[in-house]
């Protein structure tokens, strides 16, 4: 599996709104992307920071969600919550522990 981690500072007091937008709009749209596995949105209301983590079956699937404009659209739509430019990092998932 392959991960994309988007880190971004949030406007003060917008973490709940950003999380709701991610849940209601971004989440369902992610499920339509080829190779999408799962995602997490992590926020810290004290530091006004946010992490958007998405997991993909392959690096090609992850890249596909960028080359088709999906990621750019999400970042544009969520820009109202951002206090600065996002940074994007890429990782290979070596270990995943799940408690079922």
- In this predicted structure, what is the pLDDT of residue 98? 86
Question: Backbone phi, then psi, for 67, in 5-degree steps?
Answer: -70, -20
Write down the domain spans for the chain: 2-92
pTM for the model stands at: 0.91
Mean pLDDT of 10-33: 95
**Interval 6-20 mean pLDDT:** 95
Record: fold of 2-92 = Alpha-Beta Plaits (3.30.70)
90, 77 Cβ separation under 8 angstroms: no
Centre a 10 Å sphere on the Cβ of residue 96 and count the other Cβ atoms it contains: 10
Q: Express each pLDDT in 65-99 by its tens digit.
A: 999 999 999 999 999 999 999 999 999 999 989 89
Any bridge partners for residue 32, and if so which?
Answer: none
Q: Which uninterrupted H or E stretch holds 19? A: helix 15-21
φ and ψ at residue 72, rounded to 5 degrees: -60, -40
């Amino acid at each position: 599996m392959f991960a994309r981690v988007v880190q971004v500072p949030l406007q003060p007091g917008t973490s709940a709104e950003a999380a709701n937008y991610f849940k209601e709009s971004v989440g369902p749209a992610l499920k339509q992307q080829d190779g999408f596995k799962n995602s997490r949105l992590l926020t810290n209301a004290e530091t006004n920071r946010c992490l958007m983590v998405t997991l993909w079956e392959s690096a090609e699937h992850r890249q596909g969600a960028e080359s088709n404009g999906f990621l750019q659209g999400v970042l544009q739509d969520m820009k109202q919550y951002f206090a600065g430019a996002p940074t994007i990092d890429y990782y290979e998932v070596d270990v995943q522990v799940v408690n079922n």
